[in-house]
Amino acid sequence: MARPGSEHPTKLELEILKILWEESPLPVREVRAKLETDADRPLAHSSVITTLNIMYDKGLLRRKKDGKSFLFSPKVKKENVAGNFMGDLLSRLFDGSPSAMMLNLLETTDINSSELAELRKLIARKEKGQSK
């Protein structure tokens, strides 16, 4: 029995989206080449094609015919994907508490003084009702 599809991109799908957010449209061979540069294992051309087509069917990508091949580009914005991941994490792990999530982030990661200063600015801006 097949496992149900995820509402979020899989690890490989997210890697592909990151590539296409940086540069698109790209044909399969270029997506594969960029994936292999970052991966420690070779990927079959057919596996990349299959994944791209699944992503197209899920509504994550656009594709345009270019000669005998397709050019792929992202249909979803990085901010939307990140927001969905963060919302799910906030809901499922932190019971909807942004402060609990931020506290965990601050306690479990190394944040330098310039990043802390940037966080303070963002919090101050949020308090004033300004959003990015």
- The arithmetic mean of pLDDT across residues 63-88, rounded, is 94
Is the model's pTM score more than 0.85? no
Angle (CA) 27-29-35 rounded to 5° is 105
- CATH class of the domain defined by 11-74: mainly alpha
User: Tens digit of pLDDT for each residue in 8-48?
Assistant: 899 999 999 999 999 999 999 999 999 988 766 788 889 99
Torsion of CA 45, 51, 57, 61, to 10 degrees: -90
pLDDT at 103: 92
User: Tens digit of pLDDT for each residue in 87-112?
Assistant: 999 999 999 999 999 999 999 999 99
